[in-house]
Amino acid sequence: MPTHLSLRFPLRHIGVVALAVFASTAPVVAQSTADLAALRFYIQQNNQAAINAEIRRLRTAFPNWQPPEDLNTLTTSANPGPEIDRIYEQIARGDTGAAQTTLDSARQKFPDWTPPADMVQLLQTAKAQEEFDAVVGSNAARADQIARSNPALTRCNRIDNVWRLAEAQKRAGQSAQARGAYQAIVASCPAYSDVEATLQKADDVSTSDQLDGMFKTAAERFPARSEDLEALHDRLRAGHGESSAKPAANASRTASAPARTTAPRSSATSSSTRSVGGAISAPATPWDRLPATGDRRLASLRAATASGNWARCIALTPDPKSLDLLNERGWCSLNLDRPMEALSSFSAVAKGRVPADVARDARYGMAMSYLNMKMSNEAAKISVATKFTAKQRVDVEHEILVQRGIAAYDAKDYARAIGYLDAADKIQSLNRGLGVLRAYAYLNAGKRNEAYEMFARMHNQLAGNDTRQGMKAARPN
């Protein structure tokens, strides 16, 4: 996405030993760690040709220096090379406990060694991410505290964390804090797609004036996308029954509908019902020029995905080298709830020189990524322009209708909510939560008898408080 959300764990870089301006007269023990770093690395790799070449270079640079008879003694007092690699790998796997243990052991074994700053930062950030993930769904205040103590968690390349925190704050009744997070993204994150998604999310916690201000900021930062922003702004206004800059058809509302009865609420954003089509809008990515095939890690990635180890899938491929690997990596990102990262992967594949079925599957991934972010309009554009398989079309169209039904319900447009949810049910049966929501839509639209029948049918299938309360509310007078 855009600014991608994957945490990239750099491999340990071996610095090139600089040539000395003047030959040193000091013995080997006086040479710096940097002077011998390359030689130690080659010894660890058992690369004899490179070892011999480096010894010749060192003798030229330091005429009085002689290598020890046993070259392995150079590595015993050097940096913990294998341990360094292992720590990075453990961080990449998400095994921060093992990484900390290995780091502590390396420090004891090599007391003169100072861990690289990026390693310490990566480990600290990974630990903070684990702690953040554990509490963000239940304790917004603690999640906010963790985020403030670890600024790396809320940078644009980890935008999902900001969204999740804002949603937690919204659930906790802290709409002002959530809105502040969204405003910060709109004002600073460099990817337009991130800003567009954020504007839709901000709609739930903003007044019209506040949302107008965010759109103004976005328009100033992305003047080339002014028409897209205007269209999105109009759709959000229409979702609240407000007039827009352009004429728009408003669905009729049931004036006499009773006040909204308690029912499950979704965080879905408002969406439009206008027909969409045309070319797919795919964000630019750093992978647009990758070849179709050739990354030898594909088999390892597939082994990780076969076992459902999505984190390992990502850790194995921090720098994809081919589109076929990138396509499968996108699903790992999506399964880790990193939709913007997944969108970036699928977008690159969809635009690449790949077989038609691979491009189609990538567009399916794009649609599901947009739907994961509650951006049903963007998913609908892809659906119109793509010849999905039957199953893919069911998945995409059903979710589009569901999200639009929820958005219509939240806007108290119960007639439209009924239309969307009924249509979704015809494609694929609604789950219980959505079935309850649809019954409340019927009730709030004044269709008490139909609502009661729906609640009763679900109650007979599985009795619960949700259906019991619904039956009580809908019971005919």
> What average pLDDT does range 271-294 have in this prediction?
54
Is residue 426 within 8 A of residue 409, CB to CB? The reply is no
Q: Give the pLDDT of residue 106.
A: 87
Residue 165: pLDDT band with limits 50, 70, 90: very high
Question: What pLDDT, in 10s, does the model give residues 452-461?
Answer: 999 999 888 8
Binning the chain into helix, strand and coil, the percentages to the nearest 5 are: 65, 0, 35
Question: What pLDDT, in 10s, does the model give residues 329-340?
Answer: 999 999 888 888
How crowded is the C-beta side of 400, counted as CA atoms within 13 Å? Answer: 25
Question: Which amino acid is residue 35, in one-letter code?
Answer: D
CA–CA separation, 462 and 222 (whole Å): 51
* pTM of the model as a whole: 0.46
Is residue 187 within 8 A of residue 200, CB to CB? The reply is no
Please name the residues in contact with 83: beta carbons below 8 A apart, sequence gap of 6 or more. Answer: 102, 103, 105, 106, 109
What's the distance, CA 125 to chain centroid? 16
Burial tier of 114 (Cβ tally within 10 Å: 0-12, 13-18, 19+): exposed
Q: What percent of the chain has pLDDT over 90?
A: 28
Residue 261: pLDDT band with limits 50, 70, 90: very low
CA–CA separation, 122 and 129 (whole Å): 10
Question: What pLDDT, in 10s, does the model give residues 82-130?
Answer: 788 788 778 877 788 999 999 999 888 887 778 887 788 889 988 999 9
